[in-house]
Amino acid sequence: MSKITHTGFQSPAGDYEEDDIRIDQYLLRNPYATFVMRMQGDAMKKVGLFHNDLLLVDKSLPPKNNSIVVAWSNKHEFIVRRLLISDTGMYLLSEQGHIIGKKNDFTIWGVVTFSIRHHHWKK
């Protein structure tokens, strides 16, 4: 990104100037382990993840209790769910209340770090 060059008188807000925002540095903490996936379905819309949103998924992050994760299910599909870790095991929870129970029913693939939604669709 280019830096703005000021001409004329100095802006009163000049003391508050920030560095350029580098979107890649902000979104990609580990670019070699971050993948973009498209959200399918409405199972997580209560947490703000909607159908067709782009998800940034970091495979290098360890999942924690309540992390939003992408998991590979034993039905051979990726699913996006909230991870619940308790004394009895790990569970995946949709925001609609559906639970996937046993750890052997899924494998954690990565942790969702950001989502991107398109707000200006062309018709």
Each residue's pLDDT tens digit, 33-50: 999 999 999 899 999 999
The pLDDT score that the predictor gives to residue 71 is: 95
The pLDDT score that the predictor gives to residue 16 is: 64
What is the distance between the alpha carbons of residues 67 and 90, in angstroms, rounded to a whole number? 12
SS3 at position 100 = strand
Q: Please state whether the predicted TM-score (pTM) of the whole model is above 0.85.
A: no
Residue ranges of the chain with per-residue pLDDT less than 50: none
- Output the average pLDDT for the chain: 85
Domains and CATH numbers, the chain: 37-116 (2.10.109.10)
Please check whether residue 109 is in contact with residue 78, taking contact to mean a CB–CB distance below 8 angstroms.
yes
Map tokens 């540095």 to a residue: 25
The pLDDT score that the predictor gives to residue 123 is: 64
CA 67 to chain centre: 10
Please check whether residue 26 is in contact with residue 82, taking contact to mean a CB–CB distance below 8 angstroms.
no
The pLDDT score that the predictor gives to residue 99 is: 84
